[in-house]
Amino acid sequence: MIFKQDVLNSALLKRRLLCRPIKQAQQHTLAQINQTHSSQWTVLLGDTLIFDLAGLEAIKHTIAHYEGNASILHFSWQPSSQVVRDYYSHNAFCSPDGIIELPVQAIKQTNQTGQEETLALEIEELTTPIMYPAALTPVDANHTPLALLMPYSCEHDCLFANQIAVFSALSQRLKKAPISWLKALFSFRKVPFKKRVALHWKDIHPSADIHPSAIIEGSIIGEHCRIGAHCVVRYSVLGSRVQLHDGAKVEYAVVDDNSWLMHDLVLYRSLVEQQVFLIHGPYQFSFFQRESAAFASIMMDYRPDNKPIRIMTPGGIKDYQGRFLGALLQEKAKVFGGTLTAPGITIPAQEEVKCAIENITTAKSIQNRKI
């Protein structure tokens, strides 16, 4: 079979997947999956689909085991309720009963006009327990699919696609990492064996400058990155020339080329595109597009009333059912110190969000205040 994606949605042409343009990343994936193929089936991928090699392999495996007579196949996927909640609950391609209708069609080369049929995909999920503090939320588990098939319906989907792609890519790389398996075998860390394997794996470009006290676990570090003293990079991807100043911590995140994360900043489950500047923080479950910036602001990512987080999409406001979702800063948007943003808010491109000047207390106003 051969896979084709002739056109990519215009909104995705600006976005990136694991520090590469989505179009470039997906063309590379298509070249990999099409290295060997027969002409029996042609798989047409819709222009809104964000995918990786594991996602296409899942489709290929399903077609290879199909024994019916249909000449046109459609594909759906019903992930666990936790995956739907955290990655797809707002998505226009997700039905009310949690079935993802994928924009994928396989056509069989035949002279006969056959029937159409919808096949259900099976995709492995990674389940990890999360011991939340009782004061915040009950103990839960994170479920992440180990293959990327994300139909794009709004800009938040690029954040979710990168979150999935980090784990999917790591899972594929660990299959060919015997040294990490050996290190895990002799490790005394009190964590499950598979997690020890992941923590011992890393891919660091030779030109990167890593301080001896920094901790790099399960991550990719690109060329000419600078990682300062006591930094932590865990289950993340850093592009080229990324600057992490002393004490910065990055977990389950993607940080793209030429971005700066300042001292002691915490970045968690976020997507940072090129030339972004972040200081103070923490910044969690957030999406920072190209040349955006945040300065000492509080970006709320949690609703204590447990109501859905409302997000802006091209189809109007949608309810996102996940527990946590931060801000989305479009290109060149800036959020300055003293500001508070609501969960799931979108800051439009080139907008600047500032604290009202009358709310800023200066040293002179304190001196003049009557007691």
Last residue of a domain, one of 143, 171, 199: 171
Q: Say yes or no: 36 and 78 in one domain.
A: yes
Assigned domain for 186 exists: no
Q: Say yes or no: 321 and 219 in one domain.
A: yes
Assigned domain for 199 exists: yes
Q: Say yes or no: 352 and 204 in one domain.
A: yes
Q: Say yes or no: 337 and 275 in one domain.
A: yes
Residue 23's nearest CA partner among 5, 37, 40 is 5
Question: How high is the pLDDT of residue 259?
Answer: 98
Last residue of a domain, one of 140, 171, 202: 171
Token pair belonging to 355 = 């604290």
Assigned domain for 369 exists: no
Last residue of a domain, one of 122, 137, 171: 171
Question: How high is the pLDDT of residue 355?
Answer: 81
Question: How high is the pLDDT of residue 138?
Answer: 78
Question: How high is the pLDDT of residue 179?
Answer: 94
Q: Say yes or no: 199 and 167 in one domain.
A: no
As averages over each run of 10 residues, the pLDDT of the chain (371 residues) reads 94 97 97 84 96 97 92 95 95 95 92 84 90 79 94 97 97 93 90 92 97 97 98 98 98 98 97 97 96 94 91 93 95 93 96 77 52 45
Q: Say yes or no: 138 and 280 in one domain.
A: no
Supply the CATH number for residue 276's domain: 2.160.10.10
What predicted TM-score, i.e. pTM, was given to this entire model? 0.93
Q: Say yes or no: 199 and 106 in one domain.
A: no
| Range of the structural domain that residue 261 is part of | 191-357
Question: How high is the pLDDT of residue 365?
Answer: 53
Q: Say yes or no: 161 and 207 in one domain.
A: no
Whether residue 211 contacts residue 227, with contact meaning beta carbons closer than 8 Å, is answered with yes
Q: Say yes or no: 154 and 203 in one domain.
A: no
Q: Say yes or no: 141 and 279 in one domain.
A: no
Q: Say yes or no: 220 and 155 in one domain.
A: no
For the chain, the domain total comes to: 2
Assigned domain for 228 exists: yes
Assigned domain for 368 exists: no
Assigned domain for 246 exists: yes
Assigned domain for 109 exists: yes
Q: Say yes or no: 157 and 226 in one domain.
A: no
Question: How high is the pLDDT of residue 371?
Answer: 45
Assigned domain for 204 exists: yes
